[in-house]
Structure 1
């Protein structure tokens, strides 16, 4: 049986001897003496592992009430059951109000002393056990939470990587560059941030926007790679890349990046006046993610050089965006881009086309 340590605090030697004698036949109870409150606190400062404190109230140096107050203010000592010993009924009521666990009346009934002390020692033992169990459970929960967070982070990283790879697949099907994908995804994230979207949604757009043209993998080369203007029939086929992209990215809703990519792929050619495709959606019918990506995509396409066109100047690009306000583009988002142009030009400078590896078209030309 484990030892239960009891701290007996009394200025009368006789009372302390009586307590010692009461527990002589119980080797599981170990008594430590203190002759006043100050000495008791010194004992506890050296070892707080006591099961019960037997506390006299009338003592010199530091009386029982002051001692009780100090005990209850301490994070460890406050958990030790304290039984006050007094002959004054008013004092015992006050002691109970101030946090004492129980009381013993003087003269002490030895049998009652033993029973109450033993019972409170067992209560303390159970409390310590529960505390240890709670601590162990908290540690286990922390471990499992950490493992879960790591698993979720890996799953998110994997989903981001898949999105980036799929975006790169669409890049190799037409004459866009990989840097276009990077620029427009960062443009989209910056515009989402300026629009007041929460950080997690800004991050979502950053990784979902590269999927905007994934549906182009389903467009025949004779149309997708045509250097000149499309015929009306060809343009109708070209517009299907939005629907194809939406179908390619259909999920059960378990993949946030892919789900956001589906909406962007399906709606990034919609216009706020309802003249866009594929569904002719208007304003609030178009998802905010698609409205943002639409502007970012056009901003980069206009301001970048392609094999089929020269780059527009920033001023020319902004003028085209202004002209499209209220018809093609959301006015507020265009104004946010214009008002924060330095942030977008910094992104443009960070991902210049000349640092990109050769496009698929240049590789084909080399082979020919």
Structure 2
């Protein structure tokens, strides 16, 4: 009578009358449903149902506590399609029927039962359970594949961006350690101000790309040993826009989105005197405000062909002088307690 093999499906029978349980068991087994579990004690049954997977429950209503209605209440948070419940009871009046359905029953059969009808309805409910289970399994598999593909894409984005970052650093005579320090110190500042771990990790990876736009600046300007002319300075100041155009994408990842944001805005200043868009205060994205602070501090502490490395005290004094002008005052305020950690990063990632 069953059009499909449901022998693997777990059917649970709960009825305090043992004769009823045996009748249902024997009927189901006659049609190949051998994975049945029966309970005449409703309390034991409820405990088992909460702790184990099952495909269909055949439930009596009129039982000692907990009765069938209470069991339905206790199982209200189940997936009703994956674990359907058929009420089989002598309480077949409209009010009880309605109550059972409102509490989450999928089907309702009156006693005395018609066995062929029960078998047909059992088949229908097991088909529902199997379809739902298959759907959930397919969804989980799809989500796993999406997560795997997303991780692959993120790694691909990261690899490309790291290559661009190294290329920009070589052209600008920067060291790889300098740009790595910017990532580490920016992440440190972000952690202290309470950003979440995912955001901090994005900043760690994105911050070193702040000057990637220098790839598009002519060598005659980028590598000029002396002071730049006004016209040359205007060309140099285009590198945030160039960096943004390199990193911005029609379908960006979270990493490229933040990297583009930093590249575009890391030369903006708190007082609105920066470039390219003269943003002011909190108009400047937090990521760019953090990177600007960390980049300037590290640059001051570095030895360059045209200057000696500034000592910590002088670099800090300059940062404080620029609080509210170049830098976000709230970020400047937390810098002093972090100096020992920042200097430890500089020691660990020192320049050759």
TM class by smaller structure: 0.7 to 0.9
Give distance in 2, aligned partners of 1:7 and 1:276. Answer: 75
Structure 2 residue aligned with 1:65: 64
Q: CA deviation at 1:262?
A: 2.5
Give distance in 1, aligned partners of 2:263 and 2:143. Answer: 35
Structure 2 residue aligned with 1:260: 258
RMSD of aligned alpha carbons = 4.2
Give distance in 2, aligned partners of 1:132 and 1:191. Answer: 52
Q: CA deviation at 1:261?
A: 2.3
Q: Give SS of 1:82's match.
A: strand
Structure 1 residue aligned with 2:88: 82
Q: TM-score, normalised by structure 2?
A: 0.73
C-alpha change, 1:85 and 1:178, in structure 2 (3 Å) is closer
| CA deviation map 1:279-337 (0-9, x unaligned) | 33322332222211111111111112233332222222111100111111111111122
1:323 and 2:321 equivalent? yes
In structure 1, stretches of 5+ residues that fail to align are: 31-35, 58-63, 105-112, 355-368
Q: CA deviation at 1:142?
A: 0.6
Q: CA deviation at 1:256?
A: 3.2
Does structure 2 conserve the Cα–Cα contact (< 8 Å) formed by 1:184 and 1:296? Answer: yes
Give distance in 2, aligned partners of 1:235 and 1:133. Answer: 67
C-alpha change, 1:8 and 1:318, in structure 2 (3 Å) is closer
Question: Which deviates more, 266-275 or 163-172?
Answer: 266-275
Give distance in 2, aligned partners of 1:268 and 1:144. Answer: 39
Structure 1 residue aligned with 2:51: none
C-alpha change, 1:247 and 1:97, in structure 2 (3 Å) is closer
C-alpha change, 1:69 and 1:184, in structure 2 (3 Å) is same
Structure 2 residue aligned with 1:269: 267
Does structure 2 conserve the Cα–Cα contact (< 8 Å) formed by 1:54 and 1:85? Answer: no
Q: TM-score, normalised by structure 1?
A: 0.70
C-alpha change, 1:124 and 1:247, in structure 2 (3 Å) is same
Give distance in 2, aligned partners of 1:49 and 1:255. Answer: 41
Give distance in 2, aligned partners of 1:144 and 1:188. Answer: 36
Q: CA deviation at 1:343?
A: 3.1
Structure 1 residue aligned with 2:36: none
| CA deviation map 1:132-173 (0-9, x unaligned) | 221121111111100001111111111122221111111010
Matches within 5 A, 1:280-359: 280-354=278-352
Give distance in 2, aligned partners of 1:125 and 1:260. Answer: 54
C-alpha change, 1:122 and 1:321, in structure 2 (3 Å) is same
Structure 2 residue aligned with 1:169: 167
Matches within 5 A, 1:17-36: 28=31
1:220 to 218, 221, 224: 218
| CA deviation map 1:158-193 (0-9, x unaligned) | 112222111111101022100011000121222223
C-alpha change, 1:253 and 1:324, in structure 2 (3 Å) is farther
1:245 to 243, 267, 276: 243
Does structure 2 conserve the Cα–Cα contact (< 8 Å) formed by 1:271 and 1:327? Answer: yes
In structure 2, stretches of 5+ residues that fail to align are: 34-38, 49-53
Q: CA deviation at 1:83?
A: 3.1
